C-alpha cells in the first residue's frame, strides 16, 4: 500500500471522493473548486456553464493540433446516490484505503473514478510531450443520478455545447467481475407509466360491478404476463443480457380512502425499459388496447418517456469505433459489447446525433454501483489510466 499512498493520481482520486456530492439537493461548489484546481495543475482552461442555476457543468479543454476537427467529449457526472451509513464498514466519504488497496467510497465506481482517470491520462500524455490531433473536452455534469434533466439533457441543446464541436463521446460503463471490459453502445428507453383505473365506489361488503379494483387487476395481469414472457426469453438464451430484453416492474400501487370503502380510483405505476428492438408506436398501441379491454375510465400518463435513440454504430462506418477497437486489441482487452441496462447521460448525447460509448475500465471488480461498501482497488484504478492513455490517443487521432 505504501506505493499507493504517495501516488498523485490516487491522491487526487481520494480527494475527489471525499466531496459528499450526494443526492438529493447537491451543492456542487466543492466539486467545481476541486476541478478548477485540477485544471490549473494541468494548464487547461476550465469553463463553468449553468443551463440551470445551481447545476454547474464544468468543462476542461485540451486543445488539439487540428482544433477545427470535431472534438472528443469525455463525460462524467459529479453527483452520487445516497448512502446508508450504518451499512458501511468505513465512512462512505472517507475514501478509506485498506491494506489490499481497496478504496471505499460512494462514487468510487459510479463514477468519480472515470473523471479522474481522464485527467490523469492527460497529465501523463502531457508529461510525455504528446500532442493529439483532436481537441479533448472533459465534462463534469450534475444530476445524472436523478435523470440528468437539469444537466446533460439541457446542455446538449445549448449554443455553448454546440460550440464545443463534439464528434464523439465517451461516458460511463460498469464494473465486471470477469476478465472482460464491458462496452455499451446503446441504451433502452425508459417509460414510467401511471395507469389510473376509475370505477363504481361503494360499501366494502358488496359485490359491485365496474370497480376500479377489477380493472386494476386486469391491467396488472397484462403487464406482468409480458414481464414473465421477457424473463423467459432472457433465461432461455445465455447469450442475452438484461439490456437485450424489455423489463417491466410494478413499482407503486396507490389509491382508496379506507379499508371498508370500494374506491373510485386506483393507480398502478410501472417502470418499463424498452429494448432497442421494440417499435415504440406498436408498444404504446398494445398498452392502449389493454386499457380499453380493462373497461371504461382507465387512462394513463407518463412520468418519464424517453424516445427511441439509435445505437452507436460498431462497424467501419464509425471511424471512432475502429480506432477504439484497434487500441483495445493492441492492449489485449477483451471487450464485451452490450446495451446498457439502465440509463446514462449518453442517451442525450446520442439523441443529438453524436456517437457515444459507455466504458469504465474496471474488470475483475464486483459490481457495487449504488451498493453498500462501494470500492475500487487502487491497481485497477491505475491500470484504467494506462488504458485511457491508449484509447484517448487512438480516438483523438482519428
Residue from 110, 120, 143, 144 carrying the catalytic annotation: 144
What length does the chain have?
Answer: 398
By the 10 Å C-beta count (0-12 exposed, 13-18 middle, 19+ buried), 204 is classed as exposed
144 a catalytic residue: yes
Residue from 79, 120, 145, 345 carrying the catalytic annotation: 79
By the 10 Å C-beta count (0-12 exposed, 13-18 middle, 19+ buried), 84 is classed as exposed
CA distance linking residue 363 with residue 372, whole number of Å: 19
CA distance linking residue 309 with residue 350, whole number of Å: 7
The torsion defined by the Cα of 269, 273, 279 and 280, in degrees rounded to 10, comes to 40
79 a catalytic residue: yes
Q: Which phi and psi angles does 275 have, rounded to 5°?
A: -60, 150
CA distance linking residue 197 with residue 4, whole number of Å: 59
DSSP per position, 63-86: --SSTTSPEEEEEEE--B----GG
Tell me the pairing of strands 181-187 and 335-340: parallel
Beta bridge partners of 197: 266, 298
List Cβ<8 Å contacts ≥24 apart for 52-56.
52/150, 52/151, 52/154, 54/28, 55/28, 55/142, 55/143, 55/150, 55/151, 56/28, 56/31, 56/32, 56/142
- DSSP annotation of 307 reads P
Residues marked active site are found at 79, 144
Amino acid at each position: 500500500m505504501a506505493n499507493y499512498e504517495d501516488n498523485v493520481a490516487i491522491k487526487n482520486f481520494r480527494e475527489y471522493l471525499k466531496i459528499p456530492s450526494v443526492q438529493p439537493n447537491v451543492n456542487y461548489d466543492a466539486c467545481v473548486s476541486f476541478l478548477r484546481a485540477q485544471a490549473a495543475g494541468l494548464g487547461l482552461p476550465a469553463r463553468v456553464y449553468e443551463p440551470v442555476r445551481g447545476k454547474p457543468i464544468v468543462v476542461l479543454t485540451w486543445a488539439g493540433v487540428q482544433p477545427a476537427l470535431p472534438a472528443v467529449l469525455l463525460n462524467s457526472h459529479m453527483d452520487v446516490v445516497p448512502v446508508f451509513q450504518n451499512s458501511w464498514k468505513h465512512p462512505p466519504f472517507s475514501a478509506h484505503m485498506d491494506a489490499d488497496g481497496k478504496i471505499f467510497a460512494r462514487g468510487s465506481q459510479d463514477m468519480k473514478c472515470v473523471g479522474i482517470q481522464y485527467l490523469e491520462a492527460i497529465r501523463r500524455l502531457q508529461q510525455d510531450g504528446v500532442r493529439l490531433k483532436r481537441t479533448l473536452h472533459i465534462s463534469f455534469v450534475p444530476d445524472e443520478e436523478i435523470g440528468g434533466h437539469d444537466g446533460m439533457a439541457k446542455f446538449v441543446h445549448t449554443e455553448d455545447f454546440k460550440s464545443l464541436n463534439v464528434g464523439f463521446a465517451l461516458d460511463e460503463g460498469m464494473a465486471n467481475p470477469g476478465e472482460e471490459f464491458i462496452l455499451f453502445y446503446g441504451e433502452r428507453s425508459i417509460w414510467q407509466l401511471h395507469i389510473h383505473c376509475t370505477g363504481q365506489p361503494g360499501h366494502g361488503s358488496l359485490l359491485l360491478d365496474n370497480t376500479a379494483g377489477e380493472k386494476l387487476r386486469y391491467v396488472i395481469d397484462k403487464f406482468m404476463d409480458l414481464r414473465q414472457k421477457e424473463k423467459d426469453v432472457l433465461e432461455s438464451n445465455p447469450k442475452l443480457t438484461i439490456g437485450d430484453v424489455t423489463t417491466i416492474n410494478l413499482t407503486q400501487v396507490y389509491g382508496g380512502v379506507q379499508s371498508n370503502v370500494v374506491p373510485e380510483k386506483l393507480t398502478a405505476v410501472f417502470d418499463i425499459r424498452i429494448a432497442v428492438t421494440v417499435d415504440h408506436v406498436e408498444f404504446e398501441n398494445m398498452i392502449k388496447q389493454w386499457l380499453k379491454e380493462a373497461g371504461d375510465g382507465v387512462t394513463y400518463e407518463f412520468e418519464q418517456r424517453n424516445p427511441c435513440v439509435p445505437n452507436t454504430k460498431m462497424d467501419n462506418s464509425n471511424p471512432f469505433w475502429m480506432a477504439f477497437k484497434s487500441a483495445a486489441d493492441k492492449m489485449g482487452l477483451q471487450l464485451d459489447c452490450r446495451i446498457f441496462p439502465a440509463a446514462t447521460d449518453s442517451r442525450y448525447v446520442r439523441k443529438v446525433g453524436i456517437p457515444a460509448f459507455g466504458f469504465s475500465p474496471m474488470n475483475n471488480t464486483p459490481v457495487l454501483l449504488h451498493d453498500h461498501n462501494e470500492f475500487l482497488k487502487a491497481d485497477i484504478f491505475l491500470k484504467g489510466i494506462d488504458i485511457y492513455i491508449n484509447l484517448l490517443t487512438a480516438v483523438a487521432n482519428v
